[in-house]
Amino acid sequence: MTTARETAVQPWRSPMLDSLPGIAHAVTRRVPGMGKADGNVGFGAPRDSDDAWSMRQQWCHAAGVAPEWLVTLGQIHGADVHLVTAADAGKGAAPGSPQIGLGDALITNVPGPVLMTLHADCQPILLVDPARRVHAPAVAVVHAGWRGAAANAVGATLDAMRAAFGTNPCDVRAALGPAIGVCCYEVGEDVATAWRRVAGSDAGAALHVCGDRYRFSLAAANALLLSRSGVRDASIETSTICTRCQTDDWFSHRGQGRNTGRFGATIAVTSAGAPA
């Protein structure tokens, strides 16, 4: 039974994805006083895993999805993509449940499984192919910090969706969720070198010189990679929220330290939907 507290919880949603039938999506937030750790859905130490599971349940109820059908990864800041089937629903959902595997992106086109990645400054990316080539919309969630951008995690995810579902990137809607902003993301030469390797002459779209350091825009980097892969610029929606600036509402590794909590990005196919 959903409590009054659960119905009062308001996850972040993409206005663009909200307009699409057949899917449910949400990004959890930091809510001071919610549970033992402000709504943290991560199981990582020094976390109380029972409380984290309670938070996952509350956020999922607010999003209209089943917490017992969550599917999670052991995230490694790379570009490995997992295809999720109906049989995978629940992998990594509750404490002690084995995750689907190691990687940073999940894709599916079957109703049921609720794909989730965890974040604390790294960018959550939600992808939807509403064209319904294989019975239902296809969806994906991607965890992409600077390493994910340098590995072109979004490009790898779109390639996997094309192979599994026949997805044409020009049909895809992409929502870039809250992440650390260029205002707060100071990086060194290692990040600059890795990004230049993948972005080439377009590196300046996301990398800005700041003395002997740089400022890096995850949103600009991931938007560039999506566009290069064939997603239309008009179909890319970018949140303006900086998780480092707004630590009252978001967990931030840069702002709160390595033991900070995690917010979750979720997406699921709810029905066959309708062609867009």
Interacting residues of 38 by C-beta distance below 8 A, sequence separation 6+: 30, 31, 32, 251, 261
pLDDT at site 54: 97
The arithmetic mean of pLDDT across residues 247-268, rounded, is 95
Structure tokens given for 150: 């340098």
* pLDDT at residue 200, as a whole number: 97
Mean pLDDT of all residues in the chain? 93
The model's pLDDT over 78-121, given as tens digits with 9 standing for 90+, comes to 999 999 999 999 999 999 999 999 999 999 999 999 999 999 99
What pLDDT was estimated at residue 211?
Answer: 87
Q: What is the pLDDT of residue 25?
A: 98
pLDDT at 271: 76
More confident: 210 or 249: 249
Q: May I ask the CATH class of domain 4-179+231-269? A: alpha beta
pLDDT of residue 117: 98
Q: In the predicted model, is pLDDT for residue 249 greater than 50?
A: yes
pLDDT attached to residue 132: 62
Tens digits of per-residue pLDDT, 132-165? 655 679 999 999 999 999 999 999 999 999 999 9
2-11, 82-91, 164-173: the lowest-pLDDT one = 2-11
Q: Residues 226-230: what's their mean pLDDT? A: 98
Is residue 275 reached through a cis peptide bond, with omega within 30 degrees of 0 on the bond before it?
Answer: no
Going by pLDDT thresholds of 50, 70 and 90, the confidence category of residue 276 is very low
Instruction: State yes or no: pLDDT of 3 exceeds 50.
Output: no
- The confidence score (pLDDT) of residue 135 equals 65
pLDDT at 273 over 70: no
pTM above 0.85, yes or no: yes
Q: According to the model, what pLDDT value does residue 6 have?
A: 45
**pLDDT score at 246:** 97
pLDDT, tens only, 11-54: 999 999 999 999 999 999 999 999 999 999 999 876 789 999 99
What is the model's pLDDT at position 134? 53
